[in-house]
Amino acid sequence: MEDSNSNSKKKIVVFASGNGTNAVNIYHYFRNNKNIEVSHIFSNNKKSKVLRRAHDLGIKCVHFEKEDLYDSPSLINVIKDIDPSIIAFAGFLLKVPESFLAAFPKQIINIHPSLLPKYGGEGMYGERVFRKILKNRDKESGITIHYVNEEYDEGEIIAQIKLELNNDEDLNSLEEKIHSLEYEHYPKVIEKLLT
Ligand code: GAR
């Protein structure tokens, strides 16, 4: 694990566990920005697509074990060395312990694929959220960007963006709509927080 304090840009560290399309989207959004950059992508999942994507793009990536988050100060120290302005969760599925939150107050944010508090909480991520929305035949849905606290999906809300749902919405169409909304808004919300 290495540090990247070689320039004066504000740094975003992205945490992701799975696919990583949001992580890569955030990276691309800031790629030519003079003041802000995605400096690292961290993942707890060694086999995740996000680590492969980050590696292919030449983004510094760090794999850590779940225990590093819960049981030792080493992960906190590595991130403190990087000195990010924001830690952005993008499909990161682990609960965050108090020690980690206390080390980065008001700096950790998350994106969730529903209008919280609807369809939040433990086990509610990705496709599971979409299936519930479809089952309930909701007329609208959207995304939530919020600060992270010690409970799943319960931190202070920063932004919510809504969209209307059609009667014939299916898993694919809903997923596509939500992802488009995420790609459009998450980087902008991060930028706003940093400027
Ligand atoms: C995103 O849709 C994000 O909102 C969701 O995981 C997906 C990750 O996609 N997060 C949650 O459900 C958190 N509870 P990606 O890996 O392709 O960016």
Distance between CA atoms of residues 128 and 26, nearest Å: 24
Taking the complete model, does pTM exceed 0.75, yes or no?
yes
The pLDDT confidence band at residue 6, using thresholds 50, 70 and 90, is low
Cα 6 to ligand 1 centroid, rounded to whole Å: 31
Q: Answer whether residue 44 is part of any domain.
A: yes
Measured CA angle at 145 (ends 143, 146), to 5 deg: 135
Q: Is the pLDDT of residue 16 over 90?
A: yes
CB 143 within 8 A of CB 181: yes
Given the DSSP bridges, would you call strands 157-164 and 140-147 parallel, antiparallel or unpaired? antiparallel
Number of folded domains that form the chain: 1
Q: Is 155 in the pocket of ligand 1 (CB under 6 A)?
A: no
Look at residue 100 in the predicted model and tell me its pLDDT.
95
Q: Answer whether residue 94 is part of any domain.
A: yes
Q: Which of 15, 19, 127 to mutate to test ligand 1, by most ligand atoms within 8 A of the CB atom?
A: 19
Look at residue 68 in the predicted model and tell me its pLDDT.
93
Q: Is 112 a catalytic residue?
A: yes
CATH number where 77 lies: 3.40.50.170
Distance between CA atoms of residues 13 and 115, nearest Å: 24
Closest CA relative to residue 60, chosen from 35, 23, 103? 23
Query: Domain limits at 77?
Result: 10-113+144-158+186-194
Q: Is 24 in the pocket of ligand 1 (CB under 6 A)?
A: no
Q: Answer whether residue 167 is part of any domain.
A: no
Q: What is the CA radius of gyration of the chain?
A: 16
Q: What is the mean pLDDT of residues 123-143?
A: 95
